[in-house]
Amino acid sequence: MLRITELTKRYGDHAAVDSLTLHIARGEVYGFIGHNGAGKTTTLRSVAGIQSFDSGSILVDGTDITKDPIGCKRKMAYIPDNPDLYDFMSGAQYLGFVADIFGLGKEERTERIGRYSEMFGLTKDLGQPVSAYSHGMKQKLAIISAWIHEPGLILMDEPFVGLDPVASHTLKEMMREFCDRGGSIFFSTHVLEVAEKLCDKVAIIRQGKLIRSGTMDEVKGDDSLEDVFLELEAKND
Amino acid sequence: MTRTLLKKQFREIFRSFFFDPKRNAMRSGGQIAARIVLYAVLMGFLLVNIGVTLSVALLGLAFGGMDWLYFLIIGLVSVLFGAMGSVFSTASSLYLAKDNDLLLSLPIPVGSIIVSRIAGVYLMGLVYSGIIFLPSVFAYCIGVRFSISVVLTWLLWAAGISLLVLDISCLLGFVVAKLMVRLKNRSVLTVIIAVVLIGLYYFLSFNARNVISGLVADGEKVGERISFLRFFGAAPTGDWAACAVFVLAVAAISGLVWLLLRKTFIKIVTLSPGAKKNLRGAADTGRTRTVSGALLVREIRKFTSSAGYMLNCGMGIILMLIGGVAVIITGRDIAAALGPLVSTGMTSLTVMLACAVSLLASMVDITAPSVALEGKTVWILQSLPVPASKVLSAKLACHGLFAGAPALFCSACAAFSVPGLDAADIVSIFVLPLSAVALISTLGLFLGLVNPNLKWTSEIYPIKQSMPVTVCVIAGMLYPVVIMGVFSAFRLLVPAFPAPLYIGIFAAVNFGLSFMFYRLVMTKGARTFSGL
């Protein structure tokens, strides 16, 4: 579903992402972990088509993001680490806007928005302006907006930050169910316990370079993911 | 602490001079110098055209011994000019700044936060009121009399004026902020409040001439009856007693305003604006639109949800509606009044009407700050499957809708209410304003795509202080005046040159330039937007 090959992004002399290669197949929940500033957000933004990169290629379902960005964006959804949404819209208007962009019909949008907002307990707040939402509510709204058009690939940058335990649990279930139905999820997280339980595969990035990737068993073996991560960090210091 | 916050505030205000957001790096020395020179030229232009003209025009009062009246009128105009349009910008930068929560969470005294916020308001008021009051002392010292006392008292008076501007701005900003946090449906009611305030402002502005005439005619009587006005005017003339009274009065007013801000700041800031129920709720999701329709509605919502945006970039809409109604009522009188001027052959009623509507239409500059206003939400459009050209088209369509419809209304009112116009004249009165709308919308969007600042903490920075808005406002005001002036000069060479043909040539040039900017926006601009 997503094939990243030799991706490199530089800011001046500093390589934020350095020759990164990853392949995310259909049905996989793929975790992306690394220290702050490791290059996770840059990678996700490049895949989402909102940031240019210097070299390498990104294929979404076989389509090159640089050649057909609109086609790629139709197949995926992106949730940033800090979802700044339109303050001048209500939650319902925002979801309606996203539904319009993806050309969702009246019945399907009503059904999906109703279903997902119920799951996150956001139904009664949909009429409120986004400016009145808490961080967690904005995060829930961004998640719903990503799910309503049923993309093939969902990119998420720290999706659990700001969510209450119930919403966190709901999101994990949604992620698993989404991938079980053939979708793919590529997400970054610092919560290693979540990554360990949820992910089919995981990649560890350090200073822009991929230092380990594979199935959860391949990466961590008999240790915990936290132990492996700390060990790799220490080794590369 | 206050110094640190002030540094942060001023760094933000002047950020566009020094920092290039596109390259995420500091500008070169040459670029910084060019921007500063451009800004200085623009301000110098306003200073000469408004401030110097007013000072010289009123100097006769000082020659006639009514020095206090000379400074009183200058002072009142300075206060009006300085506080103009500051209602929503003050509310926005004081109470609705994005980093209020951050600053309140830090161990910073509330007073320091308020000081840093109002310092920006003060600076803006000082610049705009200074354009009016700065030349007054030079005109007075050169034309009437010079003494150290005059200069010293004028300095105190000028400081007092700038504080009065700040006081008025803060008071109005306080009222607006209080209203905003109480409104159930902000977008609609804010529009109404904005319209009422704009109407009130223009009512006062239009009556200012009568007030000034009245002051000139009965200055002594007014001065006797309202003694503060006399102190206000006499303060900068070297009259130390009047100066002391004026300074003390301003200090007292400023003290009261400070207490009010200090006491209410946290309460207003921590009330989430519009945190009331929107009755439509989930029903808003059910209506389907095309992609272009959804993007246009998004632009309209953005424009109508921000009072600051409407007030600063949509003032021409109200003026065109008011102007249209006014010309229906006074069309015959306008024709009669301009008759003698038209009969000289130096100008034409058609040119004057077409330029007048164009002037009002050019006061709508919705597209100019629209790219910068995307701010931190720009990721949404960039991550959605929408070509940047469609997003930019929606911005142009929004501008066209809000400026074009009232321009058509105003043109129709002018064309069919003023007698003596033939079919070609009528077409001219429609075509020139529409070409002005096309030009300002495409020019504004083109400029808006040149290094937009997306990292603002108050939307008032892109709306009021950005380069695209400044250029559009000045170009929009100057261009129709230039067209009228060139026509008069042209008539000297070719006395019988038909006005509709002349207007047609300029309209064609406008449409040609608009097409050029449109192409640039849709090609280079779209690429720039995608990479922001």
Of the listed ranges A98-107, A203-212, B485-494, the least confidently predicted one is B485-494
Give pLDDT tens digits for A108-139. 999 999 999 999 999 988 988 888 888 899 99
Q: Do A127 and B382 touch (CB under 8 A)?
A: no
CA dihedral for A180, A186, A218, A195, sign (positive or negative): negative
Q: Do B273 and A103 touch (CB under 8 A)?
A: no
Residue extent(s) of CATH 3.40.50.300 domains in chain A: 1-75+155-237
How many angstroms separate the CA of residue A102 from the nearest CA in chain B?
A: 8
Determine contact, residues A195/A118, Cβ cutoff 8 Å: no
Task: Extract the tokens encoding A236.
Answer: 């590369």
Per CB-CB distance under 8 Å, the chain A contacts of B530 are 69
pLDDT at B143 over 60: yes
Residue bearing the bigger pLDDT, B237 or B276: B237
Average model confidence (pLDDT) for chain B? Answer: 83
Per CB-CB distance under 8 Å, the chain B contacts of A78 are 379, 383
| Widest CA span in chain B | 74
Give pLDDT tens digits for B295-340. 999 999 999 888 778 878 888 888 899 889 988 888 788 888 887 7
pLDDT at B357 (0 to 100): 93
Q: Do A113 and B288 touch (CB under 8 A)?
A: no
Q: Do B379 and A78 touch (CB under 8 A)?
A: yes
Q: Of the spans A125-129, B398-402, B468-472, which averages the highest pLDDT? A: B398-402
Q: Of the spans A60-69, B121-130, B328-337, B452-461, which averages the highest pLDDT? A: A60-69
- Report which DSSP code applies to B525: I
Percent of chain B residues past pLDDT 70, beyond the cut: 86
pLDDT at A219 (0 to 100): 86
Give pLDDT tens digits for B53-103. 888 888 888 888 888 888 988 998 888 878 765 666 777 778 877 777 778
- Report which DSSP code applies to B21: T
pLDDT at B365 (0 to 100): 92
Q: Do B287 and A96 touch (CB under 8 A)?
A: yes
Task: Extract the tokens encoding B245.
Answer: 């009274």
Determine contact, residues A199/A216, Cβ cutoff 8 Å: yes
Question: Which residues make Cβ contacts (< 8 Å) with residue B451, sequence separation at least 6?
Answer: B16, B20, B21, B22
Interface contacts A/B by beta carbons within 8 Å: 122
What phi, psi does B322 have (nearest 5°)? -65, -45
pLDDT at B204 (0 to 100): 66
Per CB-CB distance under 8 Å, the chain B contacts of A86 are 298, 301-302, 377, 380
The enclosing H or E element of A18 equals strand A14-24
Nearest C-alpha in A relative to B303: A88
pLDDT at B476 over 60: yes
pLDDT at B223 (0 to 100): 63
Q: Do B282 and A103 touch (CB under 8 A)?
A: no
- Report which DSSP code applies to B532: -
Nearest C-alpha in B relative to A149: B384
Pick the CATH number of A1-75+155-237 from 3.40.50.720, 3.30.413.10, 3.40.50.300, 1.10.760.10: 3.40.50.300
Nearest to B188 by CA among B98, B343, B307, B17: B307
Per CB-CB distance under 8 Å, the chain B contacts of A99 are 285, 288
Whole-number Å distance between alpha carbons of B126 and B166: 8
Determine contact, residues A21/A71, Cβ cutoff 8 Å: no
User: Radius of gyration over alpha carbons of chain B, in Å?
Assistant: 25
Confidence band, pLDDT 50/70/90 cuts, at residue B355: very high
B285, B290, B291: best to mutate for the A interface, most A CBs within 10 A = B285
pLDDT at B83 (0 to 100): 79
pLDDT at B108 over 90: no
Q: Do B285 and A88 touch (CB under 8 A)?
A: no
Determine contact, residues B169/B86, Cβ cutoff 8 Å: yes
Nearest C-alpha in B relative to A50: B382
For residue B491, what are the CA distances in angstroms to A18, B189, B501? 68, 49, 12
Residue bearing the bigger pLDDT, A189 or B25: A189
Task: Extract the tokens encoding B492.
Answer: 């000297």
3-state secondary structure of B273: coil
For chain A, where are the alpha helices, taking DSSP H only?
40-48, 69-74, 91-101, 106-119, 135-147, 165-180, 192-198, 216-220, 225-235
Whole-number Å distance between alpha carbons of B22 and B312: 25
Residue with tokens 């960090």: A233
pLDDT at B282 (0 to 100): 57
Question: What is the distance between the terminal CA atoms of chain B, rounded to a whole angstrom?
Answer: 34
Q: Do B383 and A49 touch (CB under 8 A)?
A: yes
How many angstroms separate the CA of residue B406 from the nearest CA in chain A?
A: 24
Confidence band, pLDDT 50/70/90 cuts, at residue B153: very high
β A76-79/B25-26 pair status:
unpaired
Q: Do A92 and B375 touch (CB under 8 A)?
A: no
Task: Extract the tokens encoding B176.
Answer: 């607006």
How many angstroms separate the CA of residue A160 from the nearest CA in chain B?
A: 19
How many angstroms separate the CA of residue B102 from the nearest CA in chain A?
A: 14
Whole-number Å distance between alpha carbons of B446 and B367: 9
| Amino acid code (one letter) for B316 | G
What phi, psi does B405 have (nearest 5°)? -60, -50
- Among B275, B278, B377, the residue with its CB nearest the CB of A84 is B377
Average model confidence (pLDDT) for chain A? Answer: 90
pLDDT at B127 (0 to 100): 85
Nearest to B62 by CA among B129, B137, B3, B127: B137
Question: Which residues make Cβ contacts (< 8 Å) with residue B349, sequence separation at least 6?
Answer: B335, B338, B342, B418, B420, B421, B425
Of the listed ranges A18-32, B107-121, B213-227, the least confidently predicted one is B213-227
Nearest C-alpha in A relative to B280: A127
pLDDT at B184 over 60: no
pLDDT at B142 over 70: yes
pLDDT at B277 (0 to 100): 46
pLDDT at B117 (0 to 100): 85
Of the listed ranges B113-122, B140-149, B211-220, B363-372, the least confidently predicted one is B211-220
Whole-number Å distance between alpha carbons of B394 and A100: 14
What phi, psi does A66 have (nearest 5°)? -80, -25
pLDDT at A151 (0 to 100): 93
The DSSP bridge partners found for residue A90 are: A129
Whole-number Å distance between alpha carbons of B285 and A31: 32
Interface of B with A (CB under 8 A): 24, 186-187, 272-275, 277-291, 293-294, 297-298, 301-302, 305-306, 375-377, 379-380, 382-387, 530-531
How many angstroms separate the CA of residue B293 from the nearest CA in chain A?
A: 9
| Amino acid code (one letter) for B516 | M
pLDDT at B281 over 70: no
pLDDT at B205 (0 to 100): 63
Query: CB atoms < 10 A from the CB of B88, how many?
Result: 29
Q: Do B383 and A90 touch (CB under 8 A)?
A: no
Query: CB atoms < 10 A from the CB of A224, how many?
Result: 13
The DSSP bridge partners found for residue A34 are: A205
Nearest C-alpha in A relative to B301: A88
| Amino acid code (one letter) for B123 | L
For residue A119, what are the CA distances in angstroms to A99, A129, A170, B426? 18, 20, 7, 61
pLDDT at B275 (0 to 100): 45
Determine contact, residues A211/A236, Cβ cutoff 8 Å: yes
Per CB-CB distance under 8 Å, the chain B contacts of A97 are 294, 297-298
pLDDT at B445 (0 to 100): 94
Instruction: Kindly compute the dihedral angle of the four CA atoms of residues B22, B28, B32, B38, in this order, to the nearest 10 degrees.
Output: -80
